[in-house]
Amino acid sequence: MRITVPSTLAVAAVALLLGGQAQATEVVNLYSARQESLIKPLLDRFTAESGIEVNLVTGKAETLLQRLRSEGANSPADLFITTDAGRLQQAVAAGVTQPIHSARLEAAIPATYRDPEGQWFGLSVRARPIFYVKGKLDPQQIHSYADLTDPQWHGRICIRSSDNIYNQSLVASMIAHQGVAPSEVWAEGLVANLARKPTGGDRDQIKAAAAGQCDLAVANTYYYAAMLESSDPQEQAAARKLGVIWPEQEGRGTHVNVSGAALTKSARHKEAAIALLEFLVSDAAQVWYAETNQEYPVKPGVPWSATLEQLGHFKADTINATQLGEFNAEAVKLMDRVGWR
């Protein structure tokens, strides 16, 4: 996208606001695993305010990461944005990122949601709670993820497959908290209670529960919130049949994850890329995330959307999100062993 600001005075003012890091003629080359519709409006706003052009390439996270590996030092990418801490850590492990230190980023983003070495920074937060069909059960029967293994839920749970990074990160968080053996017992019990073979995305789990295929579903909050706000009456109706259970409120807290960004090792427009990152954690950008994407702002104090407020406040797990990537391989092997397909 190429948007220029007609006033050179406006460009200069924004450049000064960004700490003198960006010049109007600069560009940022961005590889994004986020859908274009979920990030382009923010990039357009950044360009309009700073004069910095953003060249956007979108694709699946694994495809973009493989592209970064293949391109190596010749990659034109300056930033890599993806939707899970596990993917961000995979990029770090692949050696395609570099650390940065920004006082603005470090002040805006809690340590829980960024790499301790500055290799990546969270941009938004999403939770992965449990949803239940209203009238089918008492939500007070479930207080933790461990409760999903109770035999009373046999044939009553819907969840995505084991190749889904969100589920892998959920299991990785359990391994980080309690070790492999207890986490494997949990996963085995969960699989024994599935209503059907895992299929489809998070919205499909919610729709399946609403259609009577299961009574409980595990999904990310932004999918559920987006369905509540959908222009499709059927999606709205399906979501309204379900309520939310916030597990682990007496313990470690509900599992949360991040979308985030990393500066690539090959970055040729480092200062402009950092300026874009700092813009994405500004109050205005964080409000947009909340209102448009139905994600929780990563920056404390920024208001949630009205829909997220309706879901209620909850205690979130405070484990550093880097561990979701560090235990990813072990989580995948564990899920394979218990037959989570």
CATH number at residue 41: 3.40.190.10
Examine the domain organization and report whether 52 and 134 are in the same domain.
Answer: no
* Residue 1 clears pLDDT 50, i.e. is over it: no
**Band of pLDDT at residue 252, cut at 50, 70 and 90:** very high
Query: Residue 123 corresponds to which tokens in the numbers above?
Result: 């941009």
* Residue 263 within a domain: yes
Examine the domain organization and report whether 273 and 146 are in the same domain.
Answer: no
Half-sphere exposure of 318 (CA within 13 A, CB side): 6
Domain count for the chain, please give it: 2
Examine the domain organization and report whether 101 and 134 are in the same domain.
Answer: no
* Residue 18 clears pLDDT 60, i.e. is over it: no
* Residue 3 within a domain: no
Strand ranges across the sheet with 157-158: 157-158, 216-218, 130-133, 242-245
6: how many CB neighbours lie within 10 A of its CB? 8
d(CA 263, CA 270) in angstroms, rounded, equals 8
* Residue 66 within a domain: yes
* Residue 309 within a domain: no
Q: Which residue range is the domain that position 34 belongs to?
A: 8-126+256-303
pLDDT tens across 155-188, in order?
A: 999 999 999 999 999 999 999 999 999 999 999 9
pLDDT tens across 106-125, in order?
A: 999 999 999 999 999 999 99
Examine the domain organization and report whether 23 and 122 are in the same domain.
Answer: yes
Examine the domain organization and report whether 229 and 270 are in the same domain.
Answer: no
Examine the domain organization and report whether 82 and 148 are in the same domain.
Answer: no
pLDDT of residue 289: 85
**Band of pLDDT at residue 25, cut at 50, 70 and 90:** low
Examine the domain organization and report whether 265 and 187 are in the same domain.
Answer: no
pTM above 0.85, yes or no: yes
